[in-house]
Amino acid sequence: MADTIIASQPTPAWRLAIRHPRRKTLVAFGLLAPSLVLLALFTYWPIIQLTWQSLHGQQRVGGPQVYTGLKNFADLVADPAFRKALVNNLIYAFGTVLPSLVLALGFALALARSNRINTVLRSLFFLPVLLPLVAAASIFLFLFLPNVGLLDYYLAKLALSGPNWLGDPDVALWSIMVLTIWKNAGYYMLFFLAGLQAIPADANEAAILEGANPWQRLRYVTLPYLKPTIGFVLVIGLTNVVTQVDHVFVLTKGGPADATNLLLFYVYQQAVENYEPGRAAAGSLAMLGLLLALTAASLRTLERSFGEPES
């Protein structure tokens, strides 16, 4: 229909020009060029540089950078701090992504109906997202402050005393995880709210007619419809746990005794504090590989759930 309307008018010259196949490719490249240039400059070129750096190191203290093969990668794997950071990052990933997902879904389900109270509550839950991570961490630094912090202040009113939230190697990572969950749940809630809007009303109505209880409706109607959203949020969540360490800088600097050291912070330490650019580059590449694998896996799950026929 639309085509016939356009065809009935004289076709402008530019439109004819881009219909030519070769021209079409050119135009496509032209349109892609800005982001391609940016990607090349700020993503692909750094990756090439990183790869070069990961294969080079000092042979002599104070000496020039020479080719050292895979030595940096071997050093990386042999470094207990790297293994510790890897394990921490895994605990951190599971311990933050799953709870924030569940919380976000809970918030979204509770606040799905649009009314004035829910709008206010949604904004409240979304508020932490608006804060930069560094600022949020500074606030939590105060909450976690031993003796005088808000947390200990209220515990003291109950005649209790808390642990050293950021200074105890057994507790610090969990304290940091609380911040991450608090910060991210509201963000993921947005996606779930959008996902819930997309569920056709008749699916739920049919389920009610069939006598499904709320739990069954959640399990057999809502969750299957939300699958693509869950996959998407999973990708974002996993990317976040690898790429965001601002709060580690502010709260613990990876301590005590590497208890809160995460991969990206480890890379920073190698590059800056230890002055081992080669090992830092190797660490970055390892992280990049990990991220690509995680994203590919999540995206595949995502596509599969998109491709599923509606039943």
Q: Which of 199, 256, 299, 301 binds another protein (CB under 8 A)?
A: 256
CB of 25 to another protein, least distance (A): 30
| Stretch in the footprint of another protein (CB under 8 A) among 4-12, 42-50, 104-112, 254-262 | 254-262
What is the b/e burial string over 70-89, where b = at least 16 CB atoms within 10 angstroms of the residue's CB? ebbbebbeebeebebbbebb
Give the 3-state secondary structure of residue 174: helix
Nearest CB to another protein, comparing residues 234 and 282 = 282
Nearest CB to another protein, comparing residues 261 and 298 = 261
Asked if 135 is part of the footprint of another protein (rule: CB under 8 A), the reply reads no
Tokens of 241: 């746990």
Q: Report CA 200 to chain centroid distance, whole Å.
A: 29
Nearest CB to another protein, comparing residues 148 and 209 = 148
* Positive or negative torsion for Cα 20, 25, 29, 31: positive
Say how many C-beta atoms besides its own lie within 10 A of residue 169's C-beta. 13
Distance CA 215, CA 222 (A): 10
Nearest CB to another protein, comparing residues 108 and 250 = 250
Asked if 224 is part of the footprint of another protein (rule: CB under 8 A), the reply reads no
CB of 14 to another protein, least distance (A): 23
Nearest CB to another protein, comparing residues 22 and 60 = 60
Q: Which residue has the tokens 């399990």?
A: 219
Q: Which residue has the tokens 């030595």?
A: 71
67 secondary structure, DSSP code: E
Distance CA 217, CA 23 (A): 52
Asked if 41 is part of the footprint of another protein (rule: CB under 8 A), the reply reads no
Nearest CB to another protein, comparing residues 263 and 271 = 271
Asked if 246 is part of the footprint of another protein (rule: CB under 8 A), the reply reads no
Nearest CB to another protein, comparing residues 13 and 159 = 159
CB of 198 to another protein, least distance (A): 46
Cβ–Cβ < 8 Å for 180, 128: no
The residues in 137-176 that bind another protein, with binding defined as CB under 8 A, are 141, 145-148, 156, 159-161, 163-164, 166-170
Q: Which residue has the tokens 């933050």?
A: 96
Residue 195 CB-density burial (10 A; 0-12 exposed, 13-18 middle, 19+ buried): buried
| Stretch in the footprint of another protein (CB under 8 A) among 94-102, 226-234, 265-273, 289-297 | 265-273
Asked if 42 is part of the footprint of another protein (rule: CB under 8 A), the reply reads no
Site residues, another protein (CB under 8 A): 60-62, 141, 145-148, 156, 159-161, 163-164, 166-170, 253-259, 269, 272-275
